Amino acid sequence: MKILLPALPVILGFLLDCAVGDPYNIPHPIKLIGRLIGTLEKLVRKRMKNLRLGGVILGMTVILLSTAVPLALLLVCYHFSLIVGIVAETVLCCYMLAARCLCRESMKVCRAAESGDTEAARKAVSMIVGRDTAVLDRDGIIRAAVETVAENTSDGVTAPLFYMGLGGVVGAFFYKSVNTMDSMIGYKDEKFADIGRFAAKLDDVLNYIPSRLTAFFMVIAAPISGLDGRNAFRIWRRDRRNHASPNSAQTESACAGALHLRLAGDAWYFGKLHKKPYIGDDDRPVEPADIRRANKLMYVTSVFMLIISAAARCIIFGGLL
């Protein structure tokens, strides 16, 4: 039984996230990492002319601090007591996962759309997507919410679980620090092209395996979730590269196929139209319940990754506790 102990914080952290989610009134580690990134970005822009080099220094500093702090905390907690260490790591694992938060926020869109309140749905979806929502109609709002659930199944849940399996919660902090940098400065526009290049490229590398593994699990999870697994696989094979990112379309295509929906396409960001290919087929009209279906698919998919992560933890860390 002792060999199973390393998996306990991951399993309990996942269950805690599903049950409680992120408390809004307590400082979140990801927000603290975000503040660090913002502060260092201003410092680099002020002190360095070579922003590409500055971006590398910024990135390495954020990664170092984001992993050193939880590592030091866990070393102290495990030195004090095995139970204290497991409890501390469980809480930190919970913080690194966003299944409950993703479901909670996307379901606000679902409920508003079901009640016919398009403006409330628009406001709710604006909190979870980066695109301009003013131009979206009711169907566009629902599609945007489904796309967000599909993409963030990997970024917010399964990829952190993947790195928990390889490096414990410190591995998850490493991943989330890079992922947060990418979401803040990893853009290709004139302002961020140089300073955010390191973060964007590293995020692509770190997500390469988790996104594809998540898409595979999503195909398997589709029939368990009452959706079309065969079509999920077909659309994934066809459309998994229909995105500027090498990873984002992996899960979006599997989800689109499972739901028999057409996702993606042109979108507005900061007042500028970005031309994008479609993902999936327009087999039927989109409906608010598709957000609920996407969330169910997200949870079932996450359980598969949890099993892999827990097994990896036992194999890698089994002799350390």
**CA–CA distance, 196 with 44 (Å, rounded to integer):** 11
pTM of the full structure: 0.92
Residue 240 three-state SS: coil
d(CA 200, CA 153): 19
Report the candidate in 247, 228, 262, 233 with the shortest Cα–Cα distance to residue 146: 262
Distance CA(252)–CA(232), nearest Å, equals 10
Cα–Cα distance, 259 to 277 (Å, whole number): 18
Alpha carbons 257 and 251: distance in angstroms, whole number: 10
Q: Is 68 inside any structural domain?
A: yes
Q: What's residue 271's pLDDT?
A: 62
Q: What is the pLDDT of residue 190?
A: 78
Cβ atoms of 264 and 243 closer than 8 Å? yes
- CB of 227 within 8 A of CB of 297? yes
Provide the b/e sequence for 180-200 (b: ≥16 CB within 10 Å). Answer: bbbbbbbbeeeebbebbbbbb
C-alpha distances in angstroms, 312 versus 33, 172, 285? 27, 14, 41
**What's the Rg (C-alpha) of the chain?**
20
Tens of pLDDT along the chain (321 residues)?
A: 566 788 999 999 999 999 988 777 777 899 999 999 999 999 999 998 899 999 999 999 999 999 999 999 999 999 999 999 999 999 999 999 999 999 999 999 999 999 999 999 999 998 888 777 788 889 999 999 999 999 999 999 999 999 999 999 999 999 999 999 998 998 887 788 899 999 999 999 999 999 999 999 999 999 999 999 999 999 999 999 988 788 989 999 999 999 999 998 766 666 676 678 889 999 899 999 999 999 999 999 999 999 999 999 988 876 555
Determine what percent of the chain falls in helix, strand and coil, rounding each to the nearest 5. Answer: 75, 5, 25
Task: Check if the beta carbon of residue 243 is closer than 8 Å to that of residue 252.
Answer: yes
Residue 123 in domain: yes
**267 DSSP β-pair partners:** 274
Query: In this predicted structure, what is the pLDDT of residue 273?
Result: 64
pLDDT at 317: 78
- Residue 321 falls inside a structural domain: no
Q: Write out the residue range of the structural domain in which residue 308 sits.
A: 2-316
How many folded domains does the chain comprise?
A: 1
DSSP secondary structure code for residue 157 in this structure? I
Query: Which residues touch 212 (CB under 8 Å, ≥6 apart)?
Result: 247, 250
* 160 domain-assigned: yes
User: Phi/psi of residue 86, each to 5°?
Assistant: -65, -40
242's CB contacts (< 8 A; 6+ apart) are: 249, 253, 264, 276, 277, 278, 279
